Amino acid sequence: MADSNGEEHPRLVLKNFLSIEECKELEFIHKSCSTVGYRPNVFSTTLSHLVATNSSHFIIPFVPIRERLKEKVEEFFGCEYELVVEFTGLISWTKGASIGWHSDDNRHYLKQRDFTAVCYLNNYGEDFEGGLFNFQHGEPKTIAPVSGDVVIYTADNRNIHSVDEVTLGERLTLTLWFSRDSSHDEDAKLISLLSQNLLHGSDNASKLCLPLPASSNMYWFAPNQASHDELGFNICCARLNVLGYDIYFSDKISSFSDSSELLMEPLQLARADDLFYKEFANILQALQVVQFFHWKASELPSFTVEIAGKVLHLSQSQQKKISCLKSVFVKDHQLVETVFHPVTINEKEQRSFSWADFSAAVKVWEDYIHKLHKDIVSSLPYWRTHQSLFSIQFDGSLEETSVPG
Ligand SMILES: O=C(O)CCC(=O)C(=O)O
Ligand SMILES: [Fe+2]
């Protein structure tokens, strides 16, 4: 690991550490739940944000991945059982995002960070352009992100790195920091949030799984971080738009003085001249179902679901209402294209859209969500006891479940 100057750069690149399916599932979660990030042109989904938006069940897919990563980092750096996860987040970078040379512990409030793991969830050259990762010294020098690959390194100045500006598309990673300082254990904080959130809900599982949007400014993308509503777009509407969907509010809601409140209201999805019958609880739920459908579209068998009466032809006045709404939530269509338009479009998926498949996916989505919900509710008591998030195989009987001693 020593370079020509005899300096050490403790780091490791692991090819195919995550399966393609794991990458796709995390991408689905990010595209359903992300908010505008901490820096320009960056979007993020943290685990505490998932809890705060009543989407705790989406923590489940992260759990085995965090576990495997921590094990690998401890093994490689020789600090078995010493580390806690300090932060877990899905982070995406779009056109204009970059970061210059830095180490990950380069602020006094980041000194607890000992190790970094960056998992690439999509592909350089396919999903985005630019965005190469570079180490200032030592080998490898440059890493082109490939989905499933992971780079781990010490967070100190032995691993100064940068990321080139993203020039096209959306570059997505799962990023974790690990600490030796147990007072920075993310798990303890999450378990406390989860306990408040999951133990106080009603028993109605579908209500519990209903996403609750955060404040509207967290979904507002403004160019150059201008914080006024005159420019930019709502990222949930924009993500729907780039996949070909519009939103429609029933005639019961006729005026919208405070437009940000409107996205908390029940709505329907439209596509071209069609209006789909299903009423979604709010924009986040509609976005989630659409993202789920696009995640699963290629693997779902073609369904012969009866959709007679489920798809209505939009009247002219309804179409007018839709474009009026669009101008409220998406001020700048060109900007949406620039930020979210994929580099390569799955032509097959685009051409073969059918409401019958969509309708069938809604049912599969419900089963998927309820399974995650069941898993997190069953796991939480064990997590509380051990003050740690770990994966548990529930095979129908809790008694047979093995938990660490
Ligand atoms: O996304 C990457 O490849 C690294 C990002 C990074 O350096 C950071 O977030 O500190
Ligand atoms: Fe970094």
- Distance, CA of 296 to chain centre: 16
Distance 163 CA to ligand 1 centre (A): 7
Q: What is the mean pLDDT of residues 365-392?
A: 96
Ligand showing the shortest atom-to-Cα distance for residue 174: 1
The per-residue pLDDT for 400 is 44
The per-residue pLDDT for 405 is 44
Check if the beta carbon of residue 232 is closer than 8 Å to that of residue 331: yes
Q: Which two tokens stand for residue 34?
A: 């992300």
The helix (H) or strand (E) run that includes residue 327 is: helix 316-329
Check if the beta carbon of residue 209 is closer than 8 Å to that of residue 369: yes
Q: Which two tokens stand for residue 107?
A: 């602020």
Taking the alpha carbons of 338, 339, 340, 346 in that order, is the dihedral positive or negative?
positive
pLDDT tens-digit series, residues 82-111: 999 999 999 999 999 999 999 999 999 999
Ligand showing the shortest atom-to-Cα distance for residue 93: 1
Distance 220 CA to ligand 2 centre (A): 25
Report the atom number in ligand 1 closest to the C-alpha of 143: 3
Q: What is the mean pLDDT of residues 124-153?
A: 97
- pLDDT at residue 5 is higher than 90: no
Residue among 133, 143, 154, 165 whose CB has most ligand 1 atoms within 8 A, to mutate: 133
Residue closest by Cα to atom 10 of ligand 1: 104
Report the atom number in ligand 1 closest to the C-alpha of 161: 7
- Strand-pairing partners, residue 267, are 280
Determine which of 221-235, 287-301, 324-338 has the lowest per-residue pLDDT on average.
Answer: 221-235
Distance 64 CA to ligand 2 centre (A): 23
Residue among 101, 175, 177 whose CB has most ligand 1 atoms within 8 A, to mutate: 175
Among 183-192, 218-227, 243-252, which range has the highest average pLDDT? 183-192
For 330, which DSSP code?
Answer: B
Question: Using N-to-C axis directions, what is the helix angle for 333-340 and 235-242, rounded to 10°?
Answer: 80
- Residue with the larger pLDDT of the pair 328 and 75: 75
Q: With CA atoms as reference, report the closest residue to 350 among 341, 360, 339.
A: 341
Q: CA 186, CA 118: separation in Å to the nearest integer?
A: 17
Q: Residue 313 — pLDDT band, cuts 50, 70, 90?
A: very high
Distance 19 CA to ligand 1 centre (A): 21
In the structure, which protein residues have their CB atom closer than 6 angstroms to any atom of ligand 1?
99, 104, 118, 133, 161, 163, 173, 175
- pLDDT at residue 113 is higher than 50: yes
Report the atom number in ligand 1 closest to the C-alpha of 93: 1
- pLDDT at residue 248 is higher than 50: yes
Q: Which two tokens stand for residue 368?
A: 């998927």
Distances 399 to 374, 383, 393, 396, 404 between C-alpha atoms, Å: 16, 16, 11, 9, 14
Q: Residue 168 — pLDDT band, cuts 50, 70, 90?
A: very high
Q: Looking up tokens 């393609």, which residue turns up? A: 20
The helix (H) or strand (E) run that includes residue 21 is: helix 20-33
- pLDDT at residue 307 is higher than 80: no
- Strand-pairing partners, residue 152, are 12, 117
Q: Looking up tokens 């579209």, which residue turns up? A: 297
Question: Using N-to-C axis directions, what is the helix angle for 20-33 and 62-77, rounded to 10°?
Answer: 120
Query: Strand runs (DSSP E) across 113-251, as ranges?
Result: 115-120, 128-130, 133-135, 142-143, 150-154, 161-163, 166-179, 220-221, 233-234, 246-248
Q: What is the mean pLDDT of residues 198-210?
A: 67
Residue 229, Cβ neighbours under 10 Å: how many? 16
Q: With CA atoms as reference, report the closest residue to 240 among 218, 219, 255.
A: 219
The per-residue pLDDT for 309 is 81
Q: What is the mean pLDDT of residues 208-220?
A: 90
Q: What is the mean pLDDT of residues 377-404?
A: 80
For 159, which DSSP code?
Answer: G
Q: Is the ipTM, as predicted for this complex, more than 0.95?
A: yes
Q: CA 199, CA 217: separation in Å to the nearest integer?
A: 28
The per-residue pLDDT for 394 is 78
The helix (H) or strand (E) run that includes residue 134 is: strand 133-135
Residue closest by Cα to atom 3 of ligand 1: 133
Residue 318, Cβ neighbours under 10 Å: how many? 16
Question: Using N-to-C axis directions, what is the helix angle for 186-199 and 355-386, rounded to 10°?
Answer: 110
Residue among 173, 174, 176 whose CB has most ligand 1 atoms within 8 A, to mutate: 173
Report the atom number in ligand 1 closest to the C-alpha of 104: 10
Q: Residue 251 — pLDDT band, cuts 50, 70, 90?
A: low
- pLDDT at residue 124 is higher than 70: yes
pLDDT tens-digit series, residues 260-275: 788 889 999 999 999 9
For 8, which DSSP code?
Answer: B
